[in-house]
Each structure stands twice: as structure tokens, then as C-alpha cells.
Chains A and B, each alone.
Chain A
Amino acid sequence: MNREASQKSTGAVHMDHAHDSAVKHVTGEAVYVDDMLEPAGLLHVYFGTSDCARGNIRQLGLDEVKALPGVVAVITAQDIPGLNDISPTHTLDEEILCSGEIHFAGQPLFAVAAEDRETARRAARLAEIEVEEEPAILDVEEALARKSWVSEPQEMRRGDAAAAISAASHRLRGELRTGNQEHFYLEGQAAMAIPQEDGDMLIYSSTQHPSELQHLVAATLGLSDNAVTVEVRRMGGAFGGKETQAAQWALLAALAAHHTGRAAKIRLDRDDDMISTGKRHDFRIVYEVGFDDDGRIEGLDVELAARCGMSADLSAAICDRAMFHSDNAYYLPTARIRSYRCRTHTVSNTALRGFGGPQGMMGIERVIDAIAARLGKDPLDVRMANLYGDEGRNITPYHMEVKDNVLHELMPELAETAGYHSRRDAIDAFNHDSPVIKRGIALTPVKFGISFTTTFLNQAGALVHVYKDGSIHLNHGGTEMGQGLFIKVAQVVADAFQVSLDQVKITATTTAKVPNTSATAASSGSDMNGMAALNAVRKIQKRLIVFAAEKYGVASESIQFVDGQVLIGDTLIPFPELVNEAYLGRVSLSATGYYRTPKIWYDRKKARGRPFLYFAYGAAVSEVEIDTLTGENRIRRVDILHDAGRSLNPAIDMGQIEGGFVQGAGWLTMEELWWDDSGAIRTHSPSTYKIPVSSDVPEEFNARIWQPGKNREPTIHRSKAVGEPPLMLAISVHSAINQAIASLAPDRPLPALDAPATPERILMCIRSVTDNGGD
């Protein structure tokens, strides 16, 4: 079988390498949790949920569930030996199984373990549940009115925004809503628990956060952390949806295994997955801005109200990140940014690629478009005029200095290569002659802060072994969800040892090898795990150098690792030979590596600090067309220029850029989640929730990595994180659609198109700005 493609030899960094599992992906050999060989006697676990959004369980009638042949165990809140809680930030507000108070429709009430999955699913539907219903809070308006929060409102201030706005020569107010988004990882939530001796538990889970799951399993079963091992080889996509959301299901499997002594597996059906796991937060953004004749912002006041759902989950950090990105790439001389974290009786919203950043950016990009419309300017000119600049124009609303801005170079380069200005003129001409179809174009930038804003999370570990034959075993705390983290870290290791990539064995993430890890999230995977792995490699190399210097009697400075060999003075020795000699010389060939991100700090109370090590930048031009009779829309062309620093693997980074953009475009156009009046979600399957397909991607889709890119900070080989930022490049699509609508009423204020821009929203927006609206 041709396995060469994934195994190009040395020179491992800054080069294209296929994903390490590419061949296994295309042959179907790559193993996901549900594909693993099943232990004998494996049980299958499923769960029953609440239909109502809020209430108290009067009676949980489980007799019929238990009576179904094939059912082995039924588990309720009472059967949890330890803590009944999955809250990731110790807010103790989200149960594994409901103990009485129901907080959303779809909340798990009990679990059932059966001989096969179909029986477990069938049984889970047989419960007779009596609930005393209570009125539910379903939207932000009501939550705001009742001050229903999952965590306290926050405020960020710089200068006196109110004064600046009232003194400005122009003022605007507006409101914008952005919708939820479902992760739609193709592999649904899945886990398998295998009981071990001493009551220990081994868990295989599709999770981004093995360490947290380890801890939760221990807490649930009343064990210490060292009694639980969590392993994950790969996920079939995650996007933030398996950061906290994977835990509950793995815990149900662990509980079943604990109670029966048998291995237990759970795999969610797509509909149940969409009903019972969290999504991207929907936001209501209200702004007031003051600006000068050139469109330069003088003061901005923004209020961000997020629907967090029934528990805190990660909402505090997500809403913080929305605040951190309410400036996007623009200098705000004065700003007041308020954030409300609304508690509602809906599923708890959670991390999704961008983590609040996209919502924050949508607000300010709308502000810029509105300013341009008011002043009759090209929005690109207004964007350029407001970019962060040098001294005096480089402090963020959280008082961090922006030192690495590259947008002054990157945006004009993109405008030039994409032909932005001439196409804008061509579109005006087209719109003039086209009665039904209208076009729009927009160029929007992204500036995205890299680091976990919760500072202590910015640490990572790795474990590297070199075996006697010179082959290398690599392990680190990061998880692989398709983003190419494993290949990138392997490249770093191969490059450091100067061996070919195929000598580096990539292994499953496990809490038994690297402890106390952070979630693979916040785009930080390669930054942190790459550094940790390099740290481990350097330790081993140092020992080899000391050994070789002594053995061969040369100065350690004259020892180098080159091209599969080690140059010792004038002699070249193959790497495996030196390794074997070192082994015989009793040198340890295994090391742990560790990294913590330097320089960062943040004082949340004062809303001040340097939460980010650096920023990732990019910009996109999107051209769209809309049908003014139906609101149907289509992206005609996209040009992207993205700063990945000195990319570790341009092919992998390009995948993140293209994929992130399309996921963002889906969020802002066709992806719509819809709850009915009772608080039940009605779009819980791919037949009702539409993510982009191939034909939604334009033929002309020109994504490029910005060649001069280089991280100012000493990150791993000066690369930049690339997982999340490209998603926000898709804001250009939404902006362009709004421009197309605006072409129908050039003398009116900017249309207030919300997101997602479905055909219905577009058509209704058209009617609100044209005379058609009056009926």
C-alpha cells in the first residue's frame, strides 16, 4: 500500500506534510471510539431526557424501562457515588443526571445500560415522567429583565466613552443579533469505559479535554484522579463541542461500568446530540458610536447580551473573549464594553471555534459599515482609517499595547490582488442594470488574540522516548481533532532531532503519560505542545551531547544533529548508533517537556492586562449576490490573505484557513437553530439544520498565507496559531450581503441585517429598506 505521501523525509518544519492519518482516513482504517474492538460483555448505554424546559420531577417512572428484555441497569442521580456535577469551572450548576429540578428541554434524567444499543435506545423512551412545569426564561430579553445571570455582568472601560460620543460630530446607534451555531462535528459524542482492578476506570472518549474528564470521572465515582485514565487517539471533529460537552456521556458510561462491572459504551444519535449538547452563544449587540468626518471612531459604547443557557459552563470566558474582540482591529480612543451573561432555560451554550470572538467582531464590523454608510464612504477606507496604529493609537480597551499589527500592509495587498476597488465599481454598474439580482462586496480584517484568557491554562506537557533502535515515541497533552496538531508537533520533533518524520511515532493522548493538561482549545495546541515537545527533545539531546563529547573527546559545541546523523567533531555517526551507544553508556533516553506561555497576565476585576501573547491577523474579500425576490444568496468569490506567522506546515494551515472560513460563512448565512415557544429545539438534525455543502463554496476561492508573516514573539519556529482566526474572515460575507441589500436604498441608513442571513432574513431586510415593506 502506498503510504509514502504522509512520510516525506527531513526538513520537517515550514513544509507541506500530509496529515499523519491521511492514508488511514481514506482507507477507513483510522480508528474512532466507536470503531475500537469491543471488550467481551460490552454494555451499551443510552439516556432519557426531559421534554419540558423548566420544572420539578414529580415522578420518574422507570418500571417499563427496567422491564424491557436486554436491559441490565438503570441509573439515576441517586446512583452516583460521588459528585453529581459536570461544571468545568466549579460553579456546581450542571448535573450529570437531573436530581429533581429540570433546567432545559433535553436534559438527561436517567441512563440505561443494555446488551445492545437498540435496546438501550428503545428502553430510554419508555419512562413515565411526571413533571410540575414552571415558566421558563427562553430569551435574552426576559433574562435581562429578570437579571437572570450565569455569572455577574462585566464592564471594560477606557476613557470616557459617553463624553466622547456626545462631543463627536457624528453619532449612530444600532442593534445586531447573531445566531447560535451547532458544531456539527461529524463524529457524534462517544465514549467507552472499561473497569480495571481496584475499582479503577479506563476511559476512551472523543474529548478535547482528557484531564478534565479524568478528574470528573474520579469525582463522580468517588475515586482519586490517579485511579482514572483517559485516552483519546483522535476525534472526528470537535470545534469546541468536545471541550466540556464530551464529559457527561463518558460519565454515564463510567457509571454503568462502575455499577455493572462490565465495559460500557455510549454513542449519541445525531438528533439527541443536537438536542442535549451546547452550541455557540447567540448575542444581542447594542451599540452607540461617535466619530469624526473621516469616519474615525472617537467613542464606542457596546452592550453584549449573550444567551448562555442553563449553566455557566465556559460562558464567563466566552463572554470575556467577546469583549476582548469588540475592537477587532480598530483603535477605540474611548470605549465602554458591557457584557451580560444571561441564564435561560435552554441547553448550556459552550465553546465553538472563536469562543465569543466572532460575536464581538460582528458588532464592531457592523459599526464600521454603518459609519461608512452615514458618511457615504467606501467601508474599506473607514476600516483603514480606524486600524490600530503607532504610539498613541495602539492601546486596546483592556489596556494592552498592540505591537504586532500587520494589517496596514496586509489589507492593501489583499485589496490589490483581489481587485477590490475595480470590482466595487463593476458591482455598482451591475446593480444599476440588474433589477432582481444584486451584488455586494466587502473586505474585512481579523485580529485575534492568542492565549487562554484564563492565564493558568497556558501550560502544556510532553513526553518523548528514544528507543535503542533510534525510533522515537512522541506524546503530549494536546488532542487531535483533525486540525493537524499531531503532525505539526511530530515535525517539530523530527526537525529537532534531524531525523525523518516517519521515525517519530505519534501516539494517543493519555492522562497516564502527560498529566494536568489544558483542553486543546483556544488555537493554542501547536504553540504550547510544540514547545513542550521541543523542551523534551532538547533535554535528551543535551544528554546525548554530554555523552558523545565525553566518549569521543570533543567539545560539546562541535556536536550537531544533521540529516539523520550526528556530527561529532569530524565524524558522522548515524543517529540510531549514537542512541544505542548512549543506552549502553547508561544514559536516560526519555524526557518530559514542559512549557508555559510567558509575558501574559490579566486582572479581570480591573479589566486590564496582557491576556494575549500575540495576535493573529488576516483579511478577506467576499463578493456575494442576492435574489431580491426570494432572499436566496450565493457567494461569488472569496480572496483571503492570512498571517500564520512562519507556518509550520502550510498545507495544514491552509486547511484551517479554508475550513474555518466556510464554517464561519455557514454560521452567518444558512445555519439557523430554531426553538419553539415551549423551549424545545426543532432543528436537531442535518435535515433541518443546514451546514454548507460543496456547492456553497465559490469556484473562485483564493486563500493565501501571507508570505512576510513571522511571529514577533518567540513562539515555536515563529509560527502563529491558526485554528480559530480564519472563521472570522467570513464576516466579510455577511457584510457583503448587507451591502447588496443597501444597494437597493442607497440614501437610507445601513440595513440592519441580522445573522444568520437566511433567505428569509434577507428578504425581510430588503422589505424594511424599500417601499415594499409597507403592508
Chain B
Amino acid sequence: MSGAIRFLLGNRLIEASDFDPQLTVLDWLRKNRHTGTKEGCAEGDCGACTVVVGDLAGDEIRYRSFNACIQLLATLDGRQLIIVEDLAQAGLHPVQQAMVDHHGSQCGFCTPGFVMSLFALYHENRPPGEQGIGRRQIDEGLAGNLCRCTGYAPIVRAARQALSVPADDHFSQAREQTVASLKQIQPTECLELEYENRSFFAPRSLDELCVLLAQHPDAVMVAGATDVGLWITKQLRVIDTLIYTANVTELQTLAIDKQSACLEIGAAVSYTDAMGALTDVYPDFRPLLARLGAVQVRNAGTIGGNIANGSPIGDMPPPLIALDARLVLRGIHGQRTLDLEEFFIEYGRQDLRPGECVEKILLPLPSAGQQFRAYKLCKRFDQDISAVCAAFALTLDKGTVASIRICYGGMAGVPARAREAESTLHGQSWTQAGLDGAMSALERDFEPISDWRASSEYRMIAAQNLLQRFFLETTRDEPVHLQAGAAT
């Protein structure tokens, strides 16, 4: 048992013990006078608090950006934390210099966050050469950072400049040393932290996790903390026992199981990690995933968390349900598997028993001829919560609908299939006339609510029109919706 965490801050080893397990990285930094990292919202949405975390990946270090405001300090055990103060050494870092050269700061409050996002992009694998990085890639890399002053144009110019050359800075130069230091602080057993009457556990195996869950039935599991973090910063909730799931080896599974013809996604796999495998299998997943949160949120957030929190507006359940995914739950007494759809009982209630965790998602591989699309509607293109999310999986047999599964988010208290619409279409020919019937059937499937994201009326019309869009996309060649990325 160890009551302390160890991590690198830049290249200095920090050992921290006797701290509140609910303490966020941001609050820890600012209390320790590292005030370069700013708080703009304390809910993961503005990026002013962006820091980069280096993780050991074999003999390499993988640098990713996170929102320090909702990242728990305790989750840094064995990792490298890089903050804006670490970047300049002999001179400004190339990303900082580019920001100065292009007048990328005005009030400067968002700037440290942008610098850190650019630093993460700088260390990402990116196409070498003169062309450098594309605009959409820059936008995706910056979608989690708000700037109210500059209008982004100068920041995009700075990004182009800084990212036109391969990464070569004091971090890449010190790689071997850092790898060695990180290896020395890798946790090998379950971390346990105690502070007053709060505790934090970071188990390393599924068995350990299940035992802990049995011992602490009121514990809150935390993976990326992109939901749990806000309970702490906004609701000021006091959580006595936190169990961190991201170090559980089995929950990081990401592999195709040939036998069941499924992609198995461990509950603690982050969106970023899942992106590659998911889009290999279903390329049409990418546009949705690339708009779910922004980089910082996708680096932390997990698909398991998105399902477990049971939100009716989470973006993962609709496509997964449309694709007939199943969910594996696990407790000390064993495993059970259910259709993902069945997990969502009603608003705020899921089929998760005390002592159980989500272990993994089983996503069937595409069947021959299957067409799949997932659409997300919101006020802003990037990093916005869906007013309506829609997913469609269709298989035609000579122009007739052999199978169709339609699932919506934002239309009911849970992510839900449009069964009336599905049955209207089933066995019919895939034509506009058939579709019109299905569009009206949606009115029998759903009675959406009105709120700040959209009115009930809009949700219904938009849901119908997304079905229309899917029809057009499967029957025509020309683009029928606005594509990602700044148009030229």
C-alpha cells in the first residue's frame, strides 16, 4: 500500500501525498504558484487550463492535452505533467514564438491553453514537409480552446508556422532521460490514497476492481472524469470513495475478437484511443467522433463512461445501438451480457447493479453491404452537446430493406430506437415514398422535450430530416450535407 503519487512536473520528480483525492490538477498547480495555467470555466469547455500529459508508450512518450480543471491530481501517478511554464528554455518554444510572431494573443488569458494545445499538436505524428498540417487538423486540435479576442485567424497562422517543421525541442531531446525517469515511477500495484475520511483507489486488474467495488458499494468509479470532474467543480459534491478505472488492464482492451466477429472496446478506453480501431471498422464513425467534445475531452473521456452515465444526449449510444452493440457487465460474482439498448431503462436509471462495472462493449463487425451513418446536430459544429444525434444502419437486398436499425439521442429520456419507423421501412423498397411513411412514423416513436438546445418541434423535424439525409446519402452521389472543416 502506498499513500503517495509520483509524477514528473516537466522534468522534476514530484511526490505528493496527504492531499484531497478530489483535488484537480488545476487547483494543485495554482495553489503551488504555477499560475500560468488559467481557469476559464472549470468544466472542460474552454481550454484555458490545458496542460499536456506525457505517458510512457514502450520506449516512447505519448503527449496528449487535458483539461487540468477536471483532471484529478491523483490520476497523474506515473506520468509526466507539462505546463506552460515548462516550454521556454533557452528561448521561446517554437509554438510560443509562432504565437508571438503572428499576434496570436490579445488579452492573453486563453493563450497558455492554446500554447499547450499547439504543443500537443507539435508532438503529434503529422505529415512532414512544406505542406504542413491541414486546416481541419488544426481546427480539430484547437476545438477545445476558446478565444474571445483574436477571432482565431492569427492562431491558425501561428499553428501553420509552428507545425511546418518536425518536432525538435528540449522534450524530444530529453526523451531517453524522461523515458528512464518515467519507468522508475510506473505504479506496479493498486494505488490507495487516504485523506481525512476520503479515499482513492487505482486498481490494476479487473479482479482488484471488482473486489474494491464489493467492499465499497457506495464508491464512485471515475475514468476520464469528464463527467465526474464537473460534479466536483460545479456541484461541489463530496465523494468519499473514488475508484479510478483507467489503470485496469482489462478495461483497456481494444481488439477484434475473430470468433464473435466483434470489436471489443474496454470500458476505460479513451475516445482518442478508440478512434483508430473504430474508424477502421466503421469509417463513417469518424465525423461523429471528431465532433464529440474536443481533443482534451476525447483524450480523457471514455466510451464506457459515456454509456455508464446514462445520459439521453450522449453521442456514443445511438451509433452503438444502431450497430447492435452489446454490453458486458462485471461484478465479483461474474459477468453478464446484455444488448446495449436494454442497459438504458429510463431517464436516470440504468441496468447496473451495485458492485458491478461496465467491462466492455462488443461491437459487431459490419455485415456485407451494410450502410451506416451517424449525425450530430447542435448550435456549434465543434465541441457542442447534441440537440439530436441520429444513427442509421441499413442493409438492402435488391433495393428492399432487409434490415434497418435507427437510434436517436436527444429525442427521449434515454437513447432510443425508432421502432415504428423501422417497422414501416422493413421489407419495403428503399424509396422516397417508403421514407415519407417512416418520417411520419417518427412522430409515433417520440415526443421530444423543449429546452435550451432545441424546441420539441425542431427536434422532431430535424430527426425526420436526418432520416431524409440518410436516404439521400445512400441514394445519391452529390454531397447533401455540410462537410467538416472550414470551406474554401
Listed in ascending order, the chain A residues whose CB lies under 8 Å from chain B are: 1-2, 5-6, 18-19, 21-32, 34-35, 118, 121-122, 125, 183-188, 234-239, 269-271, 434-437, 481-484, 625, 627, 629-637, 651-652, 654-655, 658-663, 670, 672, 674, 682-683, 685-688, 690-701, 703, 758-760, 763-764, 767
Are A30 and B108 in contact, with the CB atoms below 8 A? Answer: yes
* Interface residue B289 (Cβ < 8 Å from any Cβ of A): no
B91 contacts A625, C-beta separation under 8 Å: no
- Which chain B residues lie closer than 8 Å to A5 at the CB level? 97, 100-101
Residue of B88, B101, B105, B468 with highest tally of chain A CB at under 10 A = B105
Contact in complex: B143, A695 (CB < 8 Å)? yes
> In the complex, which residue of chain B has the Cβ closest to the Cβ of A660?
B151
Q: If the complex has contacts A18-B103, A637-B487, are A760 and B455 also in contact, measured as CB distance less than 8 A?
A: yes
Q: Is A655 within 8 A of B87, CB to CB?
A: no
Listed stretches B301-309, B409-417, B458-466; interface member:
B458-466
- Contacts known (A26-B100, A674-B452); A685 close to B43, Cβ less than 8 A: yes
Does A696 lie within 8 Å of B380, measured CB to CB? yes
Query: CB-defined interface of B146-170 with A at 8 Å, one 1/0 digit per residue?
Result: 1111111111100000000000000
Question: Which 4 A-B residue pairs are closest in the complex by CB-CB distance?
Answer: A28-B36, A482-B107, A236-B109, A25-B108
B135 to chain A, nearest CB (A): 5
Contact assessment for B482 and A437 in the assembled complex, using a CB-CB cutoff below 8 Å: yes
B residues less than 8 Å from A34 (CB atoms)? 30, 35, 39
Assess the A121–B236 pair: CB atoms within 8 A. Answer: yes
- Expressed in whole angstroms, the Cα–Cα distance for A254 and B98 within the complex equals 41
Q: Is the CB of B381 within 8 A of A634?
A: yes
8 Å CB interface, B93-114 against A: 96-97, 99-101, 103-112
- Is B38's beta carbon under 8 Å from chain A? yes
Which residue in chain A gives the minimum CB-CB distance to B69? A270
Q: Quick one: which of B280-328 are within 8 Å of A by CB?
A: 294
Query: With A and B bound together, what is the CA distance between A26 and B96 in angstroms?
Result: 6
Give the distance to chain A from B319, nearest Cβ to Cβ, in Å: 18
Does chain A have a CB within 8 A of B384?
yes
- A-B CB contact pairs (8 Å), 16 listed: A1-B92, A5-B97, A5-B101, A184-B146, A187-B107, A437-B479, A482-B106, A482-B149, A484-B106, A654-B103, A655-B149, A670-B379, A686-B45, A686-B146, A691-B148, A698-B487
- Total contacting residues, chain B, CB less than 8 A: 93
**CB-nearest residue of chain B relative to A652?**
B103
B159 to chain A, nearest CB (A): 9
In the bound complex, how far is the Cα of B380 from the Cα of A683, in angstroms?
14
- Shortest beta-carbon distance from B115 to chain A in Å: 5
Interface residue from B90, B136, B149 paired with A237 (Cβ < 8 Å): B149
Enumerate chain B residues within 8 angstroms of A239, measured Cβ to Cβ.
Answer: 148
Report the bound CA distance from A22 to B111 in whole Å. Answer: 9
Contacts of B236 in A (CB 8 A): 118, 121-122, 125
Q: Roughly how many angstroms separate A187 CA and B110 CA in the complex, as a whole number?
A: 8
Asked if A627 contacts B482 (CB within 8 A), the reply is yes
Q: Is the interface of A mostly helix, strand, loop or mixed?
A: loop
Report the Cα distance A30→B35, complex, angstroms: 9
Kindly name the residue among A27, A186, A758 whose own CB sees the greatest number of chain B CB atoms within 10 A.
Answer: A186
Residues of A within 8 A of B472 (CB): 436
Instruction: Let me know if B83 is at the binding interface, CB within 8 A.
Output: yes
Chain A neighbourhood of B135, CB < 8 A: 699
Neighbour of B146 across the interface among A29, A625, A693, CB < 8 A = A693
Q: A19 with B106: in contact, given A686-B43, A699-B487 (CB under 8 Å)?
A: yes
On whether A28 and B383 interact (CB within 8 A), knowing A236-B108, A269-B42, the answer reads no
A23 touches B92 (CB 8 A): yes
* Complex alpha-carbon distance, A633 and B466, angstroms: 15
Inter-chain contacts of B240 with A (CB < 8 A)? none
Separation of A629 and B142 alpha carbons in the complex (Å): 28
Q: A27-B87, A634-B482, A760-B458 are in contact. Are A694 and B100 (CB under 8 A)?
A: no
Residue of B nearest to A695 (CB): B139
Q: Which B108-152 residues have a C-beta within 8 angstroms of A?
A: 108-112, 115, 135-136, 138-140, 142-143, 145-152
A385 to chain B, nearest CB (A): 32
Distance from A288 Cβ to chain B, minimum over Cβ atoms (Å): 30
A-B contact number at CB 8 A? 292
Partner of B453, one of A121, A629, A659, A688: A688
State in angstroms the CA–CA spacing of A507 and B243 once bound together.
Answer: 49
Partner of A629, one of B46, B48, B466: B466
Query: Is B41 part of the binding interface, using a Cβ–Cβ cutoff of 8 Å?
Result: yes
Are B468 and A22 in contact, CB atoms less than 8 angstroms apart?
no
The distance in angstroms between the C-alpha atoms of A239 and B252, with both chains bound, is: 45
| Distance of A637 Cα from B488 Cα, bound (Å) | 7
Contact of A270 among B43, B90, B138, B383 (CB under 8 A): B43
Q: B88 to chain A: which residues have CB within 8 Å?
A: 1, 27
For A691, list chain B residues within 8 Å (CB).
146, 148
Q: What chain A residues lie within 8 Å of B106 (beta carbons)?
A: 19, 237, 482-484, 655, 659
- Residues of B near A238 (CB, < 8 A) are 107
How many Å lie between the Cα of A586 and that of B45 in the bound state? Answer: 59
List residues of chain A with CB within 8 A of the CB of B85: 27-29
Hey, which chain B residues are within 8 Å of A236, CB to CB?
38, 107-110
- Please tell me if B425 contacts chain A, counting CB pairs below 8 Å: no
If A186-B148, A659-B149, A760-B455 touch, whether A696 touches B381 (CB-CB below 8 Å) is yes
Q: A186-B149, A187-B38, A629-B466 are in contact. List 16 more A-B contacts (CB 8 A).
A: A1-B90, A26-B104, A30-B108, A118-B236, A186-B38, A186-B147, A234-B107, A270-B40, A271-B43, A652-B103, A654-B103, A663-B151, A685-B43, A690-B384, A693-B143, A701-B153
Whether B454 is near chain A, meaning CB under 8 Å from some CB there, is yes
The answer on a CB contact under 8 Å between A6 and B151 is no
The distance in angstroms between the C-alpha atoms of A28 and B46, with both chains bound, is 17
Flag if B380 contacts A630 (CB, 8 Å): no
The one of A629, A631, A701, A759 that contacts B468, using a Cβ cutoff of 8 Å: A629
Q: A236-B108, A685-B45 are in contact. Are A695 and B486 (CB under 8 A)?
A: yes
Most central of B115, B147, B379 by chain A CB within 10 Å: B379
| CB-nearest residue of chain A to B159 | A694
In this complex, the member of B105, B107, B380, B457 whose beta carbon has the largest number of chain A beta carbons within 10 angstroms is B107
Cβ of B80 under 8 Å from chain A: no
Known: A21-B108, A437-B479. A2 touches B486 (CB 8 A): no
Instruction: Tell me whether A699 and B488 are in contact (CB under 8 A).
Output: yes
Task: Say whether A23 contacts B100, CB under 8 Å.
Answer: yes
Residues 14-45 of B at the A interface (beta carbon under 8 Å): 30, 35-43, 45
Q: Mark B374-394, 1 if CB is under 8 A from A, else 0.
A: 000111111111010000000
A31 contacts across to B, CB distance below 8 A: 35
B175 beta carbon closer than 8 Å to chain A: no
CB distance from B252 to the nearest CB of A (A): 28
Instruction: Point out the residues of chain B lying under 8 angstroms from A483, CB to CB.
Output: 106
> Is B36's CB under 8 angstroms from A27's CB?
yes
B35 to A629, Cβ gap below 8 A? no
Within 8 Å CB of B42, what residues of A?
269-270
Q: Which residues of A contact B35 (CB under 8 A)?
A: 28, 31, 34-35
Whether B487 and A625, one on each chain, are in contact in the complex, defined by CB atoms closer than 8 angstroms, is: yes
Contact of B107 among A35, A481, A633 (CB under 8 A): A481
Among A21, A630, A694, contact of B139 (Cβ-Cβ < 8 Å): A694
Bound: A30/B457 CA distance, A: 48
Closest approach, in angstroms, between the C-beta of B432 and any C-beta of chain A? 12
Q: Which of B419-473 contact A (CB under 8 A)?
A: 451-455, 457-458, 461-462, 465-466, 468-469, 472
A436 and B480 contact, CB distance less than 8 A: yes
| Pick from A29, A269, A674, A764: contact of B36, CB under 8 Å | A29
Answer yes or no: B485 CB below 8 A from chain A CBs: yes
- Please tell me if the beta carbons of A697 and B466 are within 8 angstroms of each other in the complex: no
Contact B107 A237 (CB under 8 A): yes
Q: A122-B236, A763-B461 are in contact. Are A19 and B486 (CB under 8 A)?
A: no
Residues of the A chain whose Cβ atoms lie less than 8 Å from the Cβ of B146: 184, 186, 686, 691, 693
| Residues of chain B with a CB closer than 8 A to A437's CB | 479-482
Chain B residues whose C-beta falls within 8 Å of the C-beta of A686 in the assembled complex: 40-41, 43, 45-46, 146
Residues on the A chain within 8 Å of B110, using CB: 186, 236
